[in-house]
Every structure is written in structure tokens, then in C-alpha cells.
Chain A
Amino acid sequence: MPAILEVNNLVKNYGSFNAVKGISFEIMQGEIFSLLGPNGAGKTTTISMLSTLYTPTRGDASVCGHSITKEPMAVKNCIGVVPQDLALYEDLTARENLVFWGQMYGLSGKTLKTRVDEVLEQTGLLDKAKQKIKTYSGGMKRRINIGVGLLHHPKLLFMDEPTVGIDPQSRRSILDSVKELNRGGMTVLYTTHYMEEAQELSNRVGIIDHGELIAIGTQEELTKSVGETDTLVLHVGEDTDPQNLAFEVRKLQGVIKAEVTDHEVTIITPSAEELLAQAVSFANNLGIKIHSIDIREPNLEAVFLNLTGRALRD
């Protein structure tokens, strides 16, 4: 498959702050590529540059064969954008919103009507099409927000954290629709800070932190890079400080990393089962009550922790 997106050393500075520090990657036609990183990592800035909203400080990218700096209008015609925030007119109905945005993408007449009906059908909101957006639930608004990005059948769809702040049912529906769109041939660049979403959706993942792309590859390639390690997560009580426990655990043989996030101690180790008894014993000695224990197979969370020394939610 040829590359539909090629990013070359893209940089974005705001004064002395470097939001994106020279990232480069490619997305092949027909794949779902996730940019995984914590809040403030530079995901939205990257998408904003690729969608021509922000001008890069340095570097360039080619979208559908067009330069984002030299041919922005050609790029805009090729892409669809689903922004992180709901970008809809609350005092217009769902149909009015779709008609307006469809017209902004050059649709008209019968094509426009057909596409609006199809999107309403696709989002399951055909029967509520005449209601104003402000009467919709958060999940319904999210679905229409995505629908707007699909109206003109873009070749490449940018989805910027589309599941933030919604209920599990709507989240499930959105993830299923992303997979459905991809099965229909649409290429998707998906940004998220939820490891599970990146794992479920992506053919390939780019891990971004502090404006730098620190790892890229398939899920298998990335997890292999941290070796055959397990992740052991100890959930402790809210009234206890897990820092002492992490400090003690780090002294144990076979511990690669032990980090504290909220009320959890996340330990990377070649064998979680072997370490478990000792860790619990340390906790008892320190008077720290363990509420629950998770043992996870190698995953992207472990990759991120291994690469940055921090958990994704930090």
C-alpha cells in the first residue's frame, strides 16, 4: 500500500515552548494509525498542523500527495477532521448542522441530501434529525460530531480523541464505527491517551511524549521492544502513600521499573508471579493496605512506562 500521509521533521514552537519537536512518520493507505500519548504530548498540535489549521514552524507533510504548507486547499479536500471538542452549532438541528457542513465541503443538491440521510442513518440519529443539538446527550453529540467529518467521504480521517468524556456505551459505538469505516477503505489517524483504544483499533501505533515520537510500530513490535515483561499493578488505599512501597520494591531483584501513579504502584518485571509475594510482604511491613492486584501481559502501557519512566495517565 502506498503512503497517504508522509510527515517529515515537523516542528511547532510557541515562542520558547517546543510543542512538537521534529516528528516524522508515514501512514499507509487503508490503515488505522494511532498516536498514543498523555495529555499535552503534542497530539492535537500535530493533527492541527496536518489539517492545515496551524502552520508548522519547520518541516512539512504530504497528505494525499499534497504539501500541507504549499497546497493547503488540496489537502483540505482530501481529509476529514473530527476535532476533540464538539464543533457543532447547538441552536441548529442535527440535519441543519450536517447540511451546513456538507455545503462547506462543496456538496449540494441530491448528493447532499443523500449523504446527510446516510450519515444520520449511520449515526443512528435519523429519527432525531429535527431536534436541536443542544437537546442531545453527550454521546449523541459525539456521534454527530463524527458524522460531520464523514460527510464528503474523505480519503484520510483525522480523529482527535473522539471518546473523551463520554459514557462506555457511546465509546463502544464510536470504536465500532471507526473499525467499520476502516473496513470500508478509509484511512484513519486516531489520537488517544487510552492505551486500550490504541491496542484495539490500530494497525500501527506511534507513541508521542513531550512533542517527540519516541516509538513507532505494530503493537507486537512495540511490546517486543520492552522484552518479555509483565506489568504488576498494586492498588493501594487512598489514605496511604505508595511512594515508600515503590522505593522498597525497586530494591528487589528482577524489578525493571516501579512507578507510582495516583494510588497505584506499577512494576515492570520479567515474572510478576515470582515478585508478587515479596511485594505484598513489603506492603504489610510498611502498613500499606493493598486493595487489589492486576497482572498484565506486555502491553503499550508497559512500553510507555519503559520508554518514559511514567505512566500514560501522568
Chain B
Amino acid sequence: MKKLLLIAIKDLKLAFRDRASLIFMLLAPFALTLGLGLVTGSFSGGSDSGISDIPVVVVDEDGSYLGNALVEMMKSEELADLLEPQFMDDLSAARQLVDDNKAVAAIYIPKGFTESIIPLNSYSVSDQTLQIELYGNPTSPTSLGIVKSILEQFMSVVETNRIRNEVTVSQFLENGIIDQTQIAGIALNIGMEQMTTVVDSSSSIKLNNVTADGKEVEFNMLGVLAPGMALMFLMYTVTFGGRSLLVEQNSGTLPRLLVSPSSSIQVLGGKVLGIFITGVVQMLILIIGTSLLFGLNWGDPLALVVLILVAVLAATSWGILLAASFKTPGQISNVGSALMLIFGILSGGFFSVSNMADWVQVLTRISPNRWGLDAFTTLAMGGSINSILGPIIALVIMACILFLVSVILFNRRGIGKR
């Protein structure tokens, strides 16, 4: 164990003496977090999300209760900071605004939408529920995601009310409070009463989060940006660490380590430990730094420490896999840089991946950044260690698999052999 530590501490020292590494390990994530924070308005004290005045066009051909309710909701004070709605009659003109990048989305409420959900009389019962159309601009995925989320919540309230309505009417009928001829009238009355609830539901459509114990926590975009950047540049650190194994092989220090009274397991273990410790130190500096500089709350400290350890472990396994898979430091640098960017994008740190296709979402799960970011965000929003058990287990499994593959590859080609 002593030799493992000696090699690890030596690697830590070398990593923090390399100016180029320091820029990538510490300066770049700080600078990018700061820059993106400023761009998204996270420091302005305005909208909680850092995104505001999303231009949306609404075309309401329904003109009835639900259509009106949605229009009212879009105009509501609660969403005034977040949305900048514009109301039009012409659907193709609305779509054109989206195509011209003048609006993030066009919401189309078709004629008969209300009636397809709430029958206004016994003759107007529809077999088919008409759907609201969301025509989005893919170049603004985050804003589009927010609009989509608002619509989904609106529809969720409508759906809940419809089911409640149906249950109420059927119970009235079963208990003999009303007869068949009164169904339509009663349903209409209940439906109209509930329209008020729908409009009021806009008060719940905020980018705020509620913890499991009911405590409300303010959403801060920096809470996504900072861990996203930290995890992305953690991939740089582990790539640099994996690359150092081949650099040492080429410079002759790895063979020299192997002819010292140390086993190849001790030498490789020392290198792995070195990458791991460097990654942990980097994460701690970034977390403490962003807490002090940006006032960011990273959440439960104990859970945070556990998460840092497993996230760095999983990232380290990627670094070692790169070292075991490639023959030159240059190859590792190139592939590592590409991987750093791909994993950064897949993590959801730059834009929401929840809007993407299912297969993309599955793909994102090969990245330690995605699991890590999910868990860091959960902790920042008040989650406990129990709420991040899933990502923790996933990261540990990822690390075990990748280390195993790396050991097999190292055994095939031998460590330190030229």
C-alpha cells in the first residue's frame, strides 16, 4: 500500500505542476461556469431558471373553456417573467415565426378541443380526444423543454379533473342523486367549476422543486452548470492520468518502476490511485470554489462526498480503459478530448436530454457524467443519499466493468513492455 501511495502522490504532484493541466482541470470549468452563468442570467437575480421571456405563439381555435383556460394561464402573472406569449389566429403564420427563429414554440389549440374532453351536451360526446399541437424550434432545446413542461403540466391537471369528473358523475348516478337525463348538465357544471382550478394551476407551474419531505428548494441553473462543467473536466483529468501511463512507458520511468522492488499490480494500482486522488482533489477544489465564489449549495455534505468518490471512480475507470486500449499518448489525448465533449453533451449539462429520443437517453447512460449530474442536481435540490442510490450503484457497476476490461487488456499486452 505504501508504494501505491508513493506513486499516487508523485502523480498528484506532477499533475498540479503542469500549467496546461491546471488550466483544464481548474481554470476552464470555473471560467465556463461563470460565463454560462452570466449568459443564462443566473447571477442577475431575475428568473429562477436563468431563462426568461421565452417567445411563444398561441393559436386558439377552440375558443371554449379549456382553450381559454390555457390562454389565461399563458398570460398569468406567475408565468409573466418566464414567457412572452403572442396570440394569433393564423396557424401557418405562427409556425413561420418559429421557423424564422422569432418564437421558440407555437401552441395550437384545435377547434373542439374542450368538447372532446368535456361534453357540453349529451349530443356532443366525441369518441376521440383532440390534441394540442406544440410546434417547436429545435435550436432552443432548453426553452422548448420548459414550454413543453408547462403544457404537460396543464394537460395533467385537465386529465386529473376529467377523471375526477367522471368518477363524481358515475357515483351520483349509482347513488340515485341524478338520473341519465341530468348527466350532461351536471358534468358541464363540474367541468366549468374546475376550469378555475386549471387556470389557478399556473401557480404550480414554476421551475421550483419540492423535496421528498415537502420542503421547497429554489432551482438554480448554476446547480446544473457547475457540476456539469466539473464532471466534463473531470474527464480531462482522467484522460490526462491514463495518458501519463503511456508517457511514463515511453519516457522509461514505467519500466524503471517495474524493475524496482514493486509488482506490476502495485505499479498499476499506484497509477490508478494517482488518477483517482487527482480527480477527487480537482472536484473538491471546484465544489468548494463554486460554493464560495457563486454561493452555490451542493447539498448534503456526506452524500456529496460519497457521490464525488464514486463519480471520480467511474471516470477513473474510463481513463484506465483508454490507457489499456491505445498505444500512444497522442491517441489517448485525441480520443479522450472527444469523449470529454461527447460525455459533457450527453450529461444534459448543456441542454435538457429529456426531450431527446429514447435511444439517445439510453446512450447517455454510458456516460458517468449523466449519472453524476443527475445525482449532483438531486443533492443540490435537497435530496439525500437515499435519493441518489440509483446513480451511485450505476457508477460503481460502471467502474467495476471498465476496470475488469482494462485489466484483461493490460494482461494481453503487458504493462511497461515496449
* Residues in chain A within 8 A of chain B (CB atoms): 48, 51-54, 73, 76-77, 79, 81, 83-89, 91-92, 96, 100-101, 103-106, 148
Contacts and interface: CB of A to CB of B under 8 A. Distances in A.
A84 to B, nearest CB: 8
Contacts, number: 59
Contacts of A52: 258-259
6 tightest A-B CB contacts, nearest first: A87-B252, A85-B252, A87-B256, A76-B261, A104-B260, A51-B259
Consensus secondary structure, chain A interface: loop
B251 A85 contact: yes
Interface residues of B, number: 21
Contact of B256 (A79, A81, A92, A106): A81
Nearest to A14: B417
A12 to B, nearest CB: 11
B409 interface: no
Interface in B164-214: none
Contacts of A91: 14, 17-18
A89 B9 CA distance: 13
A85 B18 CA distance: 22
Given A52-B259, A89-B253, 7 more contacts: A76-B260, A84-B252, A87-B255, A91-B17, A91-B18, A101-B260, A106-B261
Given A91-B14, A100-B6, A100-B10, A83 B255 contact: yes
A182 B220 CA distance: 71
Given A53-B416, A104-B3, A104-B6, A76 B259 contact: yes
Interface string B254-288: 01111111110000000000000000000000000
B260 A87 contact: no
B18 A83 contact: no
B13 interface: yes
Given A76-B260, A105-B261, A53 B255 contact: yes
B253 A87 contact: yes
Interface in B4-25: 6, 10, 13-14, 17-18
Nearest to B15: A91
20 contacts: A51-B259, A52-B259, A53-B255, A53-B416, A53-B417, A76-B260, A76-B261, A76-B262, A79-B259, A83-B255, A85-B251, A92-B10, A100-B10, A101-B256, A103-B6, A104-B6, A104-B257, A104-B261, A104-B262, A105-B261
Nearest to B11: A89
Contact of B14 (A48, A83, A92, A105): A92
Contacts of B259: 51-53, 76, 79, 81
B14, B253, B262 interface centre (most CB from chain A within 10 Å): B253
A149 B258 CA distance: 13
Contacts of A76: 259-262
Contacts of A51: 259
Given A53-B416, A100-B10, A77 B261 contact: yes
B22 to A, nearest CB: 12
A88 B255 CA distance: 11
